[in-house]
Amino acid sequence: MSSFRLDNKNAIITGAASGIGKAIAIRFAAVGAKVHLLDTNRELLNEALTEIEAEGWFASAHYCDVTDQSHFQEIAAAIADQGGIQVLVNNAGIAHIGNLENTSEADMDRIFSVNVKGVYNGMYACIPYMKQTGGAILNMASVASSVGISDRFAYSMSKGAVFTMTLSVAKDYVSDNIRCNSISPGRVHTPFVDGFISKNYPGKEEEMFEKLAATQPIGRMGKPHEIADLALFLCCDEAGFITGTDYPIDGGFIKLNT
């Protein structure tokens, strides 16, 4: 019997249209999961769905605003009717740059709604079904959950909340055979990073990319498939003895920079 499989397990992945979420969806589909891609970008969502189906793997795509609890519940119920929900990856999130003084109330509300409430909504929608069969929840935290990073006030707040929600859910539902862990990536090279650099540093893209890459002691940014590999391990049966734990995957950023 092959290891690290998710055969016939329904896996919900938020923010699955691009970047880390897409990489996780592809990785899970490749090992037998029935992946359900949730995102607000319809165009990229359909592209990701087409890419997975072209390999002969199972996938479904759902437009979903994770800040809308009732909508998330409707989607979860429809998926659960197809064999329950065994895996949830709360990956959807947005970034923000600024310290306390230049973070507006609107900024704070927006970050909270997606990065905190969105994770809450995902777990709130899926845990009732996981209680019937057991399951694995994986939340996307950040190195900003553990160390201070300049000009990331609201973002750090939100990712700290993700980390502590992970601990609370792991504690409360361990007797229901539900495991809950989180991943804390450092900088990962995704389309978001390229867009951020081109928007904020026009004409200096290569220079800024190298500068940001160098903040990881290992000397480069992470790759989405590396995050996906860790996500697979934490969501498959081989990690059945792991819950209530955060896993940094950061090129040494936390331990070697502090």
Domains, the chain, with CATH or none: 10-186+223-253 (3.40.50.720), 188-221 (no CATH)
Number of CB atoms found within 10 A of residue 178's CB: 22
Other Cβ atoms closer than 10 A to 173: 20
- Of 155, 173, 201, 247, which one is the catalytic site residue? 155
Please tell me the predicted confidence (pLDDT) of residue 201.
Answer: 87
Catalytic annotation present for 173 = no
**pTM higher than 0.75:** yes
Euclidean distance between CA atoms 32 and 12, whole angstroms: 14
**Rounded to an integer, what distance in angstroms lies between the CA atom of residue 80 and that of residue 189?**
33
Write the CB contacts of 30 (distance below 8 Å, at least 6 apart in sequence). Answer: 55, 57
Token pair 């590396």 is found at 226
pLDDT at 176: 98
| pLDDT reported for residue 240 | 97
Handedness of CA 206, 227, 44, 163 (dihedral sign): negative
pLDDT tens across 128-168, in order? 999 999 999 999 999 999 999 999 999 999 999 999 999 99
| pLDDT (0 to 100) of residue 1 | 53
Say what the pLDDT of residue 258 is.
59
Q: Report, as ranges of residue numbers, the positions in the chain whose pLDDT lies below 50.
A: none
pLDDT of the residue at 200: 79
Q: Contact, 84 vs 13, CB < 8 A?
A: no
- R_g of the chain computed on alpha carbons: 18
Element at 21 (helix H, strand E)? helix 19-30
pLDDT at 148: 92
State how far the Cα of 96 lies from the Cα of 106, in Å rounded to an integer: 12
- In this structure, how many other beta carbons lie within 10 angstroms of the beta carbon of residue 82? 11
**If phi over 0 gives left and psi between -120 and 50 gives alpha, with beta otherwise, what is residue 134?**
left
User: What is the reported pLDDT for 72?
Assistant: 98
pLDDT of residue 2: 73
**116-148: burial string, b at 16+ Cβ within 10 Å, e else:** bbbbbbbbebbbebbeebebbbbbbbbbbbbbe
Angle at 222 between CA 8 and CA 148, to 5 degrees: 110
Q: Please provide residue 13's backbone torsions phi and psi, each rounded to the nearest 5 degrees.
A: -130, 120
